[in-house]
Structure 1
Amino acid sequence: MKKAELVFIPRPSISHLVSTVEVAKLLVDRDERLSITFLIMKINFDPKVDRFIDSVSTARNRIRFIHLSKYEPDPNQPNNFFVSLIESQKPNVKEEVSRLVSRSESSPGLPTLAGFVLDKFCTSMIDVANEFGVPSYIFLTSSAASLGLQFYVQALHDEQKVDPTEFKGSDAELVMPCLANPLPAKLLPSVMLNKKWLPILISPARRFRETKGIMVNTFEELESQAINSFSNSNTPPLYPVGPMLNLNRDGDRDVQSDKYKDIGQWLDDQPLSSVVYLCFGSLGSFGVDQVKEIAFGLEQSGHRFLWSLRQPPPKGKMEPPSEYTNPRDVLPEGFLDRTANNGKIIGWAPQIDILGHPSVGGFVSHCGWNSVLESIWFGVPIATWPLYAEQQFNAFTLIVEMGLGVEIKMDYRSEFHLDGDENNIVSAGEIERGVRCLMELDNEKRERLKEMRGKSRKALESGGTSSTWLGRFIQDVVDPKHN
């Protein structure tokens, strides 16, 4: 019985951390030889991260968290914040891992270092793993198709010498192995179309190729085309182990609050599948003009709604959105009174509980991958309204590849974190149409979603596809000689 220790280095944002911790919990529950140490880089703007870590630390004895010393970014280099954060932490990581190794060498009963598991943003830590002579793996918090896209664009750039930023504004359609349908170039992630940001995407994709394997938060039945496209390519082996969801809501202290009870109570009073839920992720928010259009669109649709409405951070600040002290300030006059019987405005949203509630019949979403997986788990259809990162691409895969959603706007972009472009506004009419389309979805799509919901749950059961892949990953880590 050889005991093995994995060092996990996640991106320290809640959207990446939650699924990474879920996979760690499954690994230690599945095999008692495994222990996991998380090295957490501190960034100052998300208290949710600390609450989440505290709640997990107390619940698991073979998962521990070590906080690395805090990094103060160079205020003159906001674009390279993450790159410089990772670089600056290499000595700290080396120090902690050396401590771990020497402890295990002095006590034969302790696990030996078996490898690093890295977030896609932390690939430069492969250098540190190499110094210790252990393999690196990636845990990808996004989809298998988005990984295929990243490899495709990197190969296009490095091997075919094509500059992807030239696709900006073009009508080109791209044919890639990970998709069954050609992708309109206008749906490429903003970073791929931006000269300044492109290297931040190309460089990790190169390094992915050096790893010993990539665990992906997805399941075979959902993304068979994308997953199969890797089997004959020159990329590391893929382990589709998802969906990884925080169903027991670790770190959600608000679950005990009156706000939470109030939301639950309101949903209890609504008819079955009658409510459309609007939420745009941990960083999603809109300016006043767009908020008014959403309000008018919802009102005109006549459907019941639960809307997580949050205030954008001050211009130029790297902060998550905050709660409005008084939403009346940004909503159309009289809106709250006119919709008092069929709508509710909230700030923070207990998303897992909302999507799992029988009165919720549709979800207007930014198409972050966690939200996509949660909506499939609960069988709630999505109307797509992507904002940033690879969300336009997720919207495309959800609607065109999987046939599981409807469109509000597939090519909408929130460029706040790239070049400050002002957005085009999505009109009340488009929003009304999207909401009606979503809430009056045809039976064929509902059936397909119901089927995928069942498959997402089955994948994680013993003998299911994801459970089998997880077993294979453990075997490859603990007993690499069997390969």
Structure 2
Amino acid sequence: MVMKSQLVFVPCPGMGHLVSIVECAKLLINHHRHLSITFLIIEAPFDDHVDAYIHSLTSSSSFPSRIHFTLLPPHPNPTNPQSLNLPSLLDSLVESQKQNVRDAVSKLNSAPDSPRLASFVVDMFCTTMIDVAAEFRVPATIFFISGAAFLRFALHVDMLREREEVDTTAFNFTDSGVKFVIPSFENHVPANIFPSVMLDKEWAKFFFSQVCKFKRAKGVIVNTFEELESRAVHSFSNSDINVYSVGPILSSRDNKTGPQGSDHHVVKWLDDHPPSSVLFLCFGSRGYFDEENQAAEIARALEASGVNFVWSLRKPPPRGSAEEPGDYSNLEEVLPEGFLQRTAEIGRVIGWAPQAQILAHKAVGGFVSHCGWNSVLESIYYGVPIATWPLYAEQQVNAFEVVRELKMSVEISLDNKGEWGQVRRSGVISAGRIEKGIKQVMEKESEVRKKVKEMSEMCKRALMEGGSSYSNVARLIHDILNRN
């Protein structure tokens, strides 16, 4: 008789991390019928979508009944999200929940017929919960939301910082011209593509406090597949960290939580266009431009290029706010006069966009993206090449990887630093530079397009039975269930 086991998942507060880790849980459940998973949800004052998202999941008849959600009590001394910077707020939120996690797990263990607690799976920003797992005498595994190359990059830079060989927060570090040898990259990595989470003093303190604890976990689940990041995955062969590449972990939440769902008007507009004829511009759920003239430069580039386009243009939140961007009530306030009228036949400017649905549409042939890792994986899965325009977090490293290492994308920018991390090194990107990137990414028979199409097929095979990611999910479950 096979023993039933349960896992406790502790995701990072906020939707950006929650969606991917839920999809990971579904992978594990689908691979092992004697496994159950309980999520312990930490409420975040800067994200009010979590309740609706969980309700949409649990009210669906197709959602696995062996995945459960427990909402942890709110912070006893709620903090105004405007009064702390985001890394301090995250650190405070997670640290304050350790006792609540202890109580919730104790309750789970004491329930009648409770399956054996096998392991914790904790988000990359919740590593303090490794201590709680140890108290219950079970291992913890990290869920890393980005790719294997960035994981190796972060670990290597953390080592250099410990040796005091580099100070990423030093003034003018990114202008130094210094290049680094990183095990996961064939090319030397220039300082000017170091991500904003390593360059801002507060973010760096928080980020590396998490990274240094990764070696205390029994392994790291990475949202990638071996065929895409073979050098990066193999760079862990002789390391102390056991890496499980189980991706691409893709989300279908666009259909369920966005306005109008699958009936979004732009999807119907795309139906009238030939294959690979439309450019999609989207900069993620937190992507926006502070620079007053940047939207106008993008508009001029689109008009000059003459390509069909769908542009998700978001309004910046109030300065210093942790809120997500909103939608403009009047687009003409940021676009050149007459632009919407002149491009009415070839383009659509919208607010929130159902990104996965649009990338999956046969009419879409190119993607101007901020290079968030989820967006990179979606573009590969659907076979749509990217023109890179990173803004914040680790997106500069992702852009460097797909342009210089994998040669699967074209460059608009590699080193643009956004406010999520309080670092900015470059201003407005000109219409001419944007137009050049647009034309390159929309070339019909380019080598970049061919490589993306080939990798798309490998990506889908990796998820099938016998594929690399499918096998790694099985290996992960085996290792988790046989560690005690």
**Is TM > 0.5 for Structure 1 vs Structure 2?**
yes
Deviation at 1:160, TM superposition (A): 5.2
Aligned-partner residue type, residue 72 of structure 2: L
Cα separation, 2, equivalents of 1:50 and 1:182: 44
For structure 1, the 5+ residue unaligned runs are: none
Cα separation, 2, equivalents of 1:152 and 1:434: 32
Q: For residue 109 of structure 2, what is the aligned residue in structure 1?
A: 101
Counterpart secondary structure, 2:70: strand
Q: Which has the higher helix share?
A: 1
Counterpart secondary structure, 2:365: strand
Q: Does structure 2 conserve the Cα–Cα contact (< 8 Å) formed by 1:150 and 1:201?
A: no
Q: For residue 386 of structure 1, what is the aligned residue in structure 2?
A: 390
Cα separation, 2, equivalents of 1:465 and 1:201: 30
1:194 aligns with 2:197: no
Q: Does structure 1 conserve the Cα–Cα contact (< 8 Å) formed by 2:388 and 2:411?
A: yes
Identity %: 49
For structure 2, the 5+ residue unaligned runs are: none
Q: For residue 458 of structure 1, what is the aligned residue in structure 2?
A: 461
Q: For residue 49 of structure 1, what is the aligned residue in structure 2?
A: 50
Q: For residue 265 of structure 1, what is the aligned residue in structure 2?
A: 268
Q: For residue 259 of structure 2, what is the aligned residue in structure 1?
A: 254
Q: Which moved more, 1:50-59 or 1:393-402?
A: 50-59
TM-score, structure 1 as length reference: 0.94
Q: For residue 309 of structure 1, what is the aligned residue in structure 2?
A: 313
What CA deviation, in whole Å up to 9, does each residue of 1:258-290 have, x standing for no partner?
5x0x21221011222111000000100113311
Aligned-partner residue type, residue 85 of structure 2: P
Q: How does 1:405-420 map to 2 (within 5 A)?
A: 405-414=409-418, 416-419=419-422
1:241 aligns with 2:266: no
How many residue pairs are counted as aligned between the two chains? Answer: 473
Cα separation, 2, equivalents of 1:425 and 1:366: 15
Q: How does 1:12-411 map to 2 (within 5 A)?
A: 12-58=13-59, 59-71=63-75, 72-73=78-79, 76-79=83-86, 80-103=88-111, 107=112, 109-159=113-163, 161-166=165-170, 167-234=173-240, 236-247=241-252, 249=254, 251-252=256-257, 254-256=259-261, 260=264, 262-287=265-290, 288-411=292-415
Aligned-partner residue type, residue 90 of structure 2: F
Cα separation, 2, equivalents of 1:461 and 1:50: 32
Cα separation, 1, equivalents of 2:255 and 2:121: 21
Counterpart secondary structure, 2:213: helix
Cα separation, 2, equivalents of 1:437 and 1:5: 49
Counterpart secondary structure, 1:123: coil
What CA deviation, in whole Å up to 9, does each residue of 1:388-432 have, x standing for no partner?
000000000011111110000111111x23337585100111111
Q: Does structure 2 conserve the Cα–Cα contact (< 8 Å) formed by 1:2 and 1:478?
A: no
What CA deviation, in whole Å up to 9, does each residue of 1:309-359 have, x standing for no partner?
110001111100001112122111000000011010111111111001111
TM-score, structure 2 as length reference: 0.94
Deviation at 1:70, TM superposition (A): 2.1
Q: Does structure 2 conserve the Cα–Cα contact (< 8 Å) formed by 1:7 and 1:116?
A: yes
Cα separation, 2, equivalents of 1:181 and 1:336: 42
Q: Over aligned residue pairs, what C-alpha RMSD do you find?
A: 1.7
Q: Does structure 2 conserve the Cα–Cα contact (< 8 Å) formed by 1:118 and 1:137?
A: yes
Cα separation, 2, equivalents of 1:463 and 1:213: 22
Point out 4+ residue stretches in structure 1 off by more than 6 angstroms: none
Cα separation, 2, equivalents of 1:401 and 1:257: 35
